[in-house]
Amino acid sequence: STVAESIHEPVKPSISISLTKLLIDGKFVDAASGKRFPTIDPRTEEVIAHVAEGDEEDVNRAVKAACKAFDKGPWPKMTAYERSKILIRFADLIDEHSDEIATLESLDSGKPYEQSRNIEVPMVARLFRYYAGWADKIHGLTVPADGAYSVQTLHEPIGVAGQIIPWNFPLLMFAWKVGPALACGNTIVLKTAEQTPLSALLAGKLLHDAGLPEGVLNIVSGFGPTAGAAIASHMDIDKLAFTGSTEVGKIVSRAAAESNLKPVTLELGGKSPFIITEDSDIDQAVELSHFALFFNQGQCCCAGSRTYVHESIYDEFLEKAKARALKRVVGDPFQNGVEQGPQISDEQFHKIMGYIKKGQEEGAKLVTGGERFGRKGYYIKPTIFADVQDEMTILKEEIFGPVQSITKYKTIPEVIQRANASPYGLAAGVFTKNIDTANTLSRALRVGTVWVNCFDVFDAAIPFGGYKMSGHGREKGVYSLNNYLQVKAVVTSIKDPAW
Ligand code: ADP
C-alpha cells in the first residue's frame, strides 16, 4: 500500500455547486420549511454543500405538480416519438456534460472519478437511449375472445410514480427508475438518498433543458422517515419503486399497502455467492472474484460477498486473493489509477468495522486488512476473511463494504445447497470451464441474475432484480416497462358479425 499512501492526498476538483434546491414543477425551489441539510465529502468528512431538505409538505407540492402534468399537461398526450426525442436529447446532454456530472457524482459518493466518468455516466446516456427506443414501441394486443366481440388491450401509463433511490449508484439508479417511467408516459416524484443528492439535481436540470415539460419530473431531496415516508404513503401516487435495504423495503411496502395499495417494485439487499470450480484458472478466478466483491468499495447490493472455492484449489486461491487485495490501490477517488475510494459515510464506516470485529470474534481468519486506511475520510483497507463458516454473521448478513469472505466446499450439490441457504436471492457468480457445471448451477441457484465467467454486467437490455427477500419486479430491459404500465382491456360488441 505504499503506492496508495502516495496518492491519498485529497484533490480539489474544480466545480461549483449551483443546484441545491428541490426541483418542483420545473423550478428549483426552497423547502417549504426553509430547512437545509449538509451533504458530506466522504474523502475529507467536510461539508460539500447545504441542500434544501424536503419533507411531507414538499412531497405534497411535488405530487400536485406531477398530477397536473399527468392529467392536464402535455406529457401523456404527446406522441411517443416526441417523448422519445426528449430522452435522446437528454442522453446527448449527459454526454456533453459528462466531466461535470461525473465530478459531482464522485465528490458526493467517493467513488473513483474514472469509474464515474468512463463507466457510469456513459451508461446513464446508454440507458436513456435504450428507453427512448422503447417509447414508441409500446403497444397492446388484439385478443381473440369467445363471442362477437372485438377485444384490444391498451398499455397505458400508470400515472404518478414515486421513486426512492439509494446512495451507492446515485445516477444509475436515477436512470434505471426515471428512464422507463418517462418512456411509458408517467410523471414522477423522485427522492434521492440524503447522502448523495447532487448529481440527480443536475440530471433533472438537463432533462428540462432537453425539453421535458414542467411537473413531469419532480425531485425532492431529503430523508427517509420524512420525505420518503410521505411518498410511500401518498394517496395520489399511483406506483412506488424503491431501491434500498430489505428493512426499509418492508416499511415502504407496508405504507403503500396501508395507504392506497399502490403497486410496489423493490430492489433490496443481497448476499450473492461467487462459486469457483476445481477446473478454474486460478489467477482469473482471483481477479474476477476480487472485482465481484470490491467494486464500488464493496457497496453493491449484488456484491459477490460469499466466495465459495473448491477445496482442491483453496490454498493457492487464498494466497493469490490476499496478494491481489494488498495490491488494490486505495486513495483519493480523483487521483488516476485509484481503484477504491472511501465508504459513503461515517455510519457505514462504523457498520463495516463492526462486521470486521464480529468476523474475528466468531473465529473467521483475518487474512489481510481489517482496519482504517489513512487518517481522514471513511477509507477501509481491502479486507479478506478465510475459513468462514456458514453460521458466521459475516457469511449471512450484508456487509456493504470491502470485506471478502472466502469459504471452502467439496461438491457441487453441497455448494448449491449452501449458496441457496440465504434469505436473499439477488445474484450469483459462477466461475468454471465446465459447461455442464455452468448449466447445472445457473438453473439451480435461486437468484435473479447468474453471471457465468463474468460479473456486474449491467447492459441496459438485461433485466435485474431479486428472488426471495432481495425484492420483486425487474428493472432494465423490456421487463422494466411492466412496472410503469397499466393494461386496459377494451371489449366492443360486434353488432353484425360477418360470420
Ligand atoms: P441504505 O442502508 O443503503 O442507506 P436505506 O434503505 O436506508 O438503504 O435507504 C434507501 C433509500 O430509502 C434512501 O433514499 C432513504 O432515504 C430511503 N428511506 C429510508 N428510510 C425510509 C422510510 N422509512 N421510508 C421511506 N424511505 C426511506
Indicate if ligand 1 lies below 6 Å from the C-beta of 232: yes
Packed helices 98-109 and 80-96: angle between N→C axes, nearest 10 degrees: 70
Distance CA 455, CA 257 (A): 35
Task: Quote the pLDDT of residue 3.
Answer: 44
Distance CA 101, CA 437 (A): 43
Strand segments, DSSP code E, in 136-197 are 142-143, 149-157, 160-164, 187-191
Distance CA 362, CA 302 (A): 24
The H or E element spanning position 315 is helix 314-327
Cell 419530473 locates to 217
Task: Quote the pLDDT of residue 459.
Answer: 96
Distance CA 382, CA 340 (A): 9
Indicate if ligand 1 lies below 6 Å from the C-beta of 228: yes
CA 378 – ligand 1 centroid, Å:
20
Q: Give the burial string for 203-227 (b: 16+ CB within 10 Å, else e).
A: bbbbbbebebbbbbbbbbbbebebb
| CB proximity list for 372: less than 8 A, separation 6 or greater | 349, 353, 379, 380, 381
> Cα dist. 43→192, 313, 341 in Å?
21, 38, 8
Q: What is the pTM of this model?
A: 0.97
Q: Which atom of ligand 1 is nearest to the CA of 168?
A: 3
Lateral strand order in the sheet of 149-157 = 142-143, 149-157, 485-493
Q: Give the burial string for 412-443 (b: 16+ CB within 10 Å, else e).
A: beebbebbbebebbbbbbbbbeeeebbebbee
> Cα dist. 8→1, 5, 41, 343, 374 in Å?
10, 5, 14, 14, 8
CA 421 – ligand 1 centroid, Å:
26
Count other Cβ atoms within 10 Å, centred on residue 456.
18
Distance CA 156, CA 178 (A): 17
Residues assigned a catalytic role: 267, 301
User: Which residue puts its alpha carbon closest to atom 16 of ligand 1?
Assistant: 224
Nearest 5°: phi and psi at 472? Answer: -145, 155
Indicate if ligand 1 lies below 6 Å from the C-beta of 301: no
CA 242 – ligand 1 centroid, Å:
9
pLDDT tens column, 188-232: 999 999 999 999 999 999 999 999 999 999 999 999 999 999 999
Packed helices 435-444 and 412-420: angle between N→C axes, nearest 10 degrees: 30
The H or E element spanning position 449 is strand 449-452
Task: Quote the pLDDT of residue 496.
Answer: 84
CA 224 – ligand 1 centroid, Å:
5
Q: Which atom of ligand 1 is nearest to the CA of 245?
A: 6
Instruction: List the chain residues with pLDDT less than 50.
Output: 1-4, 6
Q: What is the mean pLDDT of the chain?
A: 96
Ligand 1 site-directed mutation target among 53, 164, 247, 345, most atoms within 8 Å of CB: 164
Task: Quote the pLDDT of residue 230.
Answer: 99
Count other Cβ atoms within 10 Å, centred on residue 463.
14
Task: Quote the pLDDT of residue 10.
Answer: 75
CA nearest neighbour of 108 among 174, 177, 38: 38
Q: Which atom of ligand 1 is nearest to the CA of 223?
A: 16
Q: Which atom of ligand 1 is nearest to the CA of 193?
A: 14
Indicate if ligand 1 lies below 6 Å from the C-beta of 253: no
End-to-end CA distance of the chain: 82
Q: Which atom of ligand 1 is nearest to the CA of 400?
A: 3
Cβ 407 vs Cβ 310: under 8 Å: no
Q: ipTM, 2 decimals?
A: 0.99
User: Which residue puts its alpha carbon closest to atom 13 of ligand 1?
Assistant: 193
Q: Which atom of ligand 1 is nearest to the CA of 191?
A: 14
Indicate if ligand 1 lies below 6 Å from the C-beta of 58: no
Cβ 31 vs Cβ 22: under 8 Å: yes
Cβ 273 vs Cβ 481: under 8 Å: no
Task: Quote the pLDDT of residue 2.
Answer: 42
CA nearest neighbour of 344 among 108, 126, 136: 108
Cβ 321 vs Cβ 290: under 8 Å: yes
Cβ 256 vs Cβ 162: under 8 Å: no
CA 165 – ligand 1 centroid, Å:
8
Task: Quote the pLDDT of residue 499.
Answer: 59
CA 445 – ligand 1 centroid, Å:
28
Sign of the C-alpha dihedral computed for residues 491, 497, 498 and 499 taken in this order: positive
pLDDT tens column, 20-72: 999 999 999 999 999 999 999 999 999 999 999 999 999 999 999 999 999 99
Indicate if ligand 1 lies below 6 Å from the C-beta of 251: yes
CA 424 – ligand 1 centroid, Å:
18
Indicate if ligand 1 lies below 6 Å from the C-beta of 193: yes
Distance CA 137, CA 16 (A): 40
Task: Quote the pLDDT of residue 13.
Answer: 85
Task: Quote the pLDDT of residue 1.
Answer: 43
Indicate if ligand 1 lies below 6 Å from the C-beta of 270: no
Indicate if ligand 1 lies below 6 Å from the C-beta of 249: no
User: Which residue puts its alpha carbon closest to atom 3 of ligand 1?
Assistant: 244
| CB proximity list for 104: less than 8 A, separation 6 or greater | 15, 17, 198, 199, 202
Indicate if ligand 1 lies below 6 Å from the C-beta of 425: no
Indicate if ligand 1 lies below 6 Å from the C-beta of 244: yes
Task: Quote the pLDDT of residue 342.
Answer: 98
